[in-house]
Amino acid sequence: MSNQSAVKDVVKDESMLIQKKMLDGWYKEIGRAREGGKPVVYSFVPGNLTEFILSFDCVAVLPEINALHSGMKKMSDGFILEAERRGHSEDVCTYVKCDLGMFLGGNLGPYGKIPPPDLLLLSYTGCFTFLKWFEALKKLYNCPVVMVHTPYQDQGVITPDMVDYLVGQFKSDLIPALEKISGKKFDIDRLRSLLQESRRAEEDLVYCFESAKNIPSPIDGFFAGVYYVGPIFTAFRGTPECTEYYRAARREIEYRVANKLGPMTPAGTMEKEKFRLVIDGTPNWTDFRDFWKVFYEEGAVFVASTYTKVGGLYDTGFRHDPDQPLKTMAEYCLNVYTNNSLPVRTKLMENYIRDYHADGFVFHSIKSCNSFSAGMLAMLRELEQRTGLPGCFIESDLVDSRYFSYANIKNRVESYLQMVEQKKGDRGAV
């Protein structure tokens, strides 16, 4: 029996319940897409072009989201084993194996049947795995592919040439492909109206994240943060319901700030904030609640995270601009966390540690995700030197429960927090 002491009666904010309804509605729309005559476009979270997809009345499907929900629903292990039986290595990204195993099992996903794609749209090329993933999907589904090549920000700067390069690909490749599968002409005014909604939602999202600068923090910027980014990073950005969701989330957080309440956890409101941490890395989805429990039981709150920026670094100033629709979509593709170099990522972590008054930081290494995990130990050592604070390194995986050890992570985190507490005491005595 698992030691993972799951909480039976999970406490949720109203915004989480709103999001659940949105998610249920999205998967119902996905399931009805074929009978409704709506084209289906598969894409990824980083740099996704949701507003483009919606402007052509297509339905967006995100294989990453299918995989993470399969993990949370304890379905991913079976999909992964099926993919491995078909010859896929243990070292392959487990999101990929989950997705391929789901296909091999008849495309029955976490919320029902997933229709095959009419178009595979790859608009972020910073992860080599994404390229190979869509190669495999093209062989399985035999459908057209559009690859919008996104230049890497090796210097942490978006140049006009990068933007022009992407805009040129939108015009020559993406728009014609969407026109062909949808039978509709590109409507730039429709795109502008969607981008106006995106901008409104992005303002409230940034408020939600920056509220964690308060002491106590009213939110957990990692575990609860994945709920906050859910609508804007998937198929809802640009829709009125997305805007309404973020208004509701903001109202909840404003109330918590005004009443000096700590973050909501699955066990209820955290009564005492003891540790403020920043984290780099992706959650473990198969054991998400137990992973969270390791920290909230110790009074540890993640006040900022990098994972919640993989769909866009809004908190560094980016907003979609409806007056320049193609240019702003290009800048969005370029402006995701993993499209930056290790020095830029390290500086962002350093800023979070300082601006959010953190006591320490955690790196969660994912066995099968090089995009996040490569360079983590070097970043950890550099941040310890720059900040004088201790770092913690833990390991598991995305959606493969074989690589999550509750006891090992709990022991390592408890030992780490004892060190943080000692450091806090030493600083207070100076």
Q: What does the angle CA 151 – CA 157 – CA 162 come to, to the nearest 5 degrees?
A: 35
pLDDT at position 428, please? 55
Look at residue 392 and give its three-state secondary structure. Answer: strand
Could you count the other beta carbons within 10 Å of the beta carbon of residue 84?
16
Task: Inform me whether the pLDDT recorded for 1 exceeds 60.
Answer: no
pLDDT at position 3, please? 44
Segment 194-222 shows an average pLDDT of: 97
Task: Inform me whether the pLDDT recorded for 2 exceeds 50.
Answer: no
Task: Inform me whether the pLDDT recorded for 157 exceeds 80.
Answer: yes
Segment 213-218 shows an average pLDDT of: 98
pLDDT at position 90, please? 85
Query: Which tens digit of pLDDT belongs to each residue from 273-296?
Result: 999 999 999 999 999 999 999 999
Whether 80 and 399 have beta carbons less than 8 Å apart is answered as yes
Give 424's pLDDT tier (boundaries 50, 70, 90).
confident
Query: Which tens digit of pLDDT belongs to each residue from 216-225?
Result: 999 999 999 9
Query: Which tens digit of pLDDT belongs to each residue from 22-32?
Result: 999 999 999 99
Mean confidence (pLDDT) of the chain: 92
Token pair for residue 165? 């390069």
Whether 379 and 349 have beta carbons less than 8 Å apart is answered as yes
Alpha-helix runs per DSSP H in 259-323: 288-296
Percent of the chain with pLDDT over 90: 81
Segment 286-313 shows an average pLDDT of: 96
pLDDT at position 11, please? 64
Domain boundaries, the chain: 14-429
Whether 222 and 278 have beta carbons less than 8 Å apart is answered as no
Segment 171-185 shows an average pLDDT of: 98
Segment 323-339 shows an average pLDDT of: 95
**Phi, psi values for residue 38, rounded to 5°:** -95, 130
Segment 49-68 shows an average pLDDT of: 96
pLDDT at position 13, please? 75
pLDDT at position 323, please? 98
Residue 117, preceding peptide bond in cis (omega within 30° of 0): no
pLDDT at position 5, please? 41
Segment 244-248 shows an average pLDDT of: 95
Query: Which tens digit of pLDDT belongs to each residue from 104-120?
Result: 878 777 888 899 999 99
The arrangement of strands across the sheet holding 275-280 comes to 300-305, 275-280, 360-366, 391-396
